[in-house]
Structures are given as structure tokens and as C-alpha cells.
Amino acid sequence: MSSASSLEVEDLRTEFVLRDRVLRVVDDVSFTVEPGQALAIVGESGSGKSVAMRSVMRLLPKTGRVAGGQARLGGTDLLGLSERQMRKVRGRDIGMVFQNAMEALNPTLTLERQLTEHLLWHGICDRAEAKRRAVETLGDVGIPEPEKRIRTYPFQLSGGMRQRAMIAMAMVTQPSVLIADEPTTAVDVTVQRQLLDLLARLKARGTGVIMITHDLGVARYFCDDAIVMYAGRVVEHSPIRPLLAHPAHPYTSGLFSSTLEVGARQRALRPIPGSPPDLAHRPPGCAFHPRCDRAEERCGQEDQPLLPWSGNGSDLVPGTVAETGRPTDERTDDRADERTGRREVACWKAVQHG
Ligand SMILES: Nc1ncnc2c1ncn2[C@@H]1O[C@H](COP(=O)(O)OP(=O)(O)OP(=O)(O)O)[C@@H](O)[C@H]1O
Ligand code: SF4
Ligand SMILES: [Mg+2]
């Protein structure tokens, strides 16, 4: 596979088969990540962000199964590969930074073994070159004295260092696509900034990045496009800046209202009332209707497909997205963003009334 392949996910559907029922956790999710572009995935806890990415990586728990769709990397459908073929893709063509750092690291092996074996296993280079690359990558992720630290075990590292080591694992092979699941939540602001700079360098070299994040400041700073997930579905898809400035879907507005600052002063956060649905009893029609302050009768009756949208959206942003240590200088004007990529929303009311 070339080092500049786009990842195209189409109608991805993932289910968990439980004893007495089947839960559809990811439902017809589609998006594309081009080389050198970054996609943010946002949504409340439990909306299916991690499961969607694990489906693409084919790393689901035993009870999980991909029930439909495609995930094409440079034209190859990953969902159709054998496990053996997929093992070659994983780590070499797509790297993943997991929500839980320890998941990616083997506690019984030194960083040197893990990083070099990874390169050797994929046949990327010989042992001497693998060692050189491993040290270089540890240095790149901000691990001090990488020649020394490379001989340590994961448990000897602090949380922040472990997070960096995991990112090193994901990027040592220079994959076409890097999936980062909340890569900056467990680290302080300084480390966060370093990691974002690092990801920005990868992006500049042509790596496509998917970033799952609750941090809209990170998304705004780093990502080009975003999808917003609710109850396993994409409810809004847009270039990031217009999305943050003028969300179209009532759920997106609610999500952002609960995580924004206005100017320098912290506004009282307004959590969305209610809680996400139990997927075993998904509300009919628009799954958000029991919580939506704009809901009308038809919302509970009609499924809401993603439709093109060119309205005005909510005027939600008189201030800035929560400060998280990155520049917020270049304020956007958002509808004029030259990345006028299509905006899509799954809400008839937004489509009809803007
Ligand atoms: N092994 C499993 N068996 C059954 N259901 C699962 C399993 N793993 C996840 N789920 C369910 O799938 C849904 C999506 O989970 P997922 O971990 O993708 O959420 P998320 O959007 O990543 O949330 P968070 O922001 O908390 O990480 C949730 O309802 C979760 O309960
Ligand atoms: S379809 Fe109805 S319930 Fe769903 S977001 Fe739109 S207005 Fe709200
Ligand atoms: Mg998750």
C-alpha cells in the first residue's frame, strides 16, 4: 500500500451479540480521511466512537462483529481481509493510539523489543535500522534520553511517558493513517501540546489522522473535518470550523454548549438534559428526540438520514472554544471557510429551517 492512501469508510455497521439480544452500536457510519488531513470524531460517552475505530482495525471484543459496510485503505477493503492479511496492515499501514495506554504495550517487553520487533515483524528494515528508528521515534515523541529509556519496561514509565511510548509504537512504522483515541486526555497541558505538535508533523508528512476527542479546542486546532456521533450514528458531518461556529444539529449545539467558554469567562456549562438512549431500546425516528428541545411529533416517527445542509445553524459561538494550551488567535469566519466541503445533517428541521 502506498504511504499516501486515503481511508474511506462506508456504511459501517457493528453489532454486539449478547445473550438475549443484538445491539447495533455503529450504524451506517461513513467518512473519508485523505492523506495529510485530520478528522475529528466527537460525541458523548457511549456514542460508538471507539467501537467504530476498533471495527476498522478489526480489533473488536469476541462478542462484537462488523455486520456491514466497507473500510477501504488505498482501495483495499480491510473488512474483507483475512486475519493474517489484516495483521500486516495493522501497525504498518494504520497505527492506533488506544484510549487505554497499556493496551498497546506489552508489559513484559522493553520498549526496544516492542518497537524493533514491530518493525522487524513487518519486514520494514533490518535490526540495526530498527533500533535506530526506535530511538529516533522515542526522541520524537518527547521521551528524554531515548537511548537509555529504550531499555525500560512500560511499568517503569510515568503515565505521560507511557502515553508517549504508545504513540511511538503507533507511528514508528510511519503508517498512512493514524487513529488516535483520546490521545491527550490523560496528559498535562505541556505534554498535550508536544503531542499535538508531533501529530501535526505527521500530518504535514501526509499521514491521515483520525482523532477521537472530547476536547473541542484540540479538534479546532488540529482537525480539518468532523463527524458528530449520537447513539451509533453520524448526525452531522462538516468541516471543523463552520461546525464549531454554527452547529446545525440540535445535538451538536447541545454538545458544544456543554463544553464552551464564552470569551475569557467560564460560562455555566449547560449539559444536555437526559441521557443517551439504551441501545437495546433505541427511540424510534430521530434517536435524539426525547432530549431535543426542538422536537415535534414527526421526529419520533421518521428516521433521519444525513442530508446536505447549507443553512445558518445556531449562533452559538460569541466566544472561543475552551482554551487548552493552543493558539486561538486566528478566529474563523466560518461560513466563509474555504474548505467549503459539504455539510450534512440528520435533522429534518435543520434542513428545512437552517
Ligand atoms: N464488549 C461490549 N459489549 C457490549 N457492548 C459494548 C461493548 N463495548 C462497547 N459496548 C457498547 O458500545 C457502545 C459504544 O461504545 P464506545 O466504547 O464506542 O463509546 P465511545 O463513544 O468510545 O465512548 P467514550 O467517549 O466513553 O470512550 C456503548 O453503548 C457501549 O456500552
Ligand atoms: S429530527 Fe427532531 S428531534 Fe431530531 S434533532 Fe431534529 S428537531 Fe430534534
Ligand atoms: Mg471511547
Domain locations in the chain as residue ranges: 1-93+177-354, 100-174
Nearest to 27 by CA among 279, 345, 278, 274: 279
Specify the pLDDT at position 333: 44
Tell me, which fold does domain 1-93+177-354 have in CATH? Rossmann fold (3.40.50)
Tell how many helices (H) and how many strands (E) occur in the chain.
11, 12
**Confidence label for 334 from pLDDT (cuts 50, 70 and 90):** very low
How far does residue 232's CA lie from ligand 1's centre (Å)? Answer: 9
Q: Can you tell me which atom of ligand 2 is nearest the CA of 235?
A: 5
Q: What is the dihedral of CA 258, 262, 265, 271, to 10 degrees?
A: -10
What is residue 25's three-state secondary structure? strand
Q: Using a 6 Å cutoff on CB, does residue 349 contact ligand 2? A: yes
Q: Which residue's alpha carbon is at the smallest distance from atom 16 of ligand 1? A: 48
| 89 Cβ below 6 A of ligand 2 | no
Q: How far is the CA of 49 from the centre of ligand 3 (A)?
A: 6
Q: How far is CA 212 from CA 113, 116, 184, 209, 267, in A?
A: 29, 27, 10, 10, 24
Region of poorest pLDDT, from 82-91, 152-161, 228-237, 266-275: 266-275
Rounded CA separation 198/203 (Å):
9
Range with the poorest average pLDDT among 97-106, 196-205, 228-237, 292-301: 97-106
298 lines ligand 2 (CB under 6 A): no
Q: What is the mean pLDDT of residues 136-151?
A: 93
Out of 93-107, 172-186, 309-323, give the one with best mean pLDDT: 172-186
**pLDDT category, 317, cuts 50, 70, 90?**
very low
247 Cβ inside 6 Å of ligand 2: no
Over residues 181-185, mean pLDDT = 83
- pLDDT(345) > 90: yes
Q: What are 7-19's pLDDT values in tens digits?
A: 999 999 999 999 9
Greater confidence, 274 or 322? 274
Mean pLDDT rounded to a whole number for the chain: 87
Cβ of 13 less than 6 Å from ligand 1: no
| Atom 28 (ligand 1) nearest CA | 46
The predicted pLDDT at position 267 comes to 54
| Residue 45 CB–ligand 1 contact under 6 Å | yes
* Comparison of pLDDT for 274 and 4, the residue scoring more: 274
Is residue 247 within 8 Å of residue 313, measured between CB atoms? yes
Question: Residue 43: CB within 6 Å of ligand 1?
Answer: yes
How far, in Å, is the centroid of ligand 2 from the Cα of 149?
52
pLDDT > 80? residue 327: no
pLDDT for 152 equals 96
Strand ranges, E, within the chain = 7-17, 22-33, 38-42, 64-73, 76-77, 94-97, 177-181, 208-212, 225-230, 233-239, 307-308, 344-345
| Nearest ligand to residue 288 Cα | 2
Atom of ligand 2 nearest to the CA of 304: 1
User: How confident is residue 105, by pLDDT bands cut at 50, 70 and 90?
Assistant: confident
Assess whether the C-beta atom of 309 lies below 6 angstroms from ligand 2.
no
The amino acid occupying position 136 is: E
Q: Which ligand is nearest to the CA of 253?
A: 2
Q: Does the beta carbon of 316 sit less than 6 angstroms from any atom of ligand 2?
A: no
| Span 20-78, pLDDT tens digits | 999 999 999 999 999 999 999 999 999 999 999 999 999 999 999 999 999 999 989 99
**Of the residues 272, 293, 296, 304, which should be mutated to test ligand 2's pocket, given the most ligand atoms within 8 Å of the CB?**
304
Q: How confident is the model at residue 268 (pLDDT cuts 50, 70, 90)?
A: low
Instruction: Report the pLDDT averaged over residues 72-90.
Output: 94
Three-state SS at 177: strand
- What is the pLDDT averaged over residues 309-329? 55
pLDDT of 226-266, one tens digit each?
A: 999 999 999 999 999 999 989 999 999 999 888 754 443 45
The predicted model gives 183-187 an average pLDDT of 75
Question: Taken in order 292, 296, 298, 300, is the CA torsion positive or negative?
Answer: positive
Check if 300 has its Cβ closer than 6 Å to any atom of ligand 2.
no
> Of the ligands numbered here, which is closest to the C-alpha atom of 47?
1
Percent of the chain with pLDDT strictly greater than 90: 65
Residue among 270, 245, 258 at smallest CA distance from 328: 245
Q: How far is the CA of 56 from the centre of ligand 2 (A)?
A: 29
Three-class DSSP category at 60: coil
Name the closest ligand to CA 51. 1
289 Cα–ligand 2 center, Å: 6
Q: What is the pLDDT of residue 31?
A: 97
pLDDT given for residue 335 in this prediction = 42
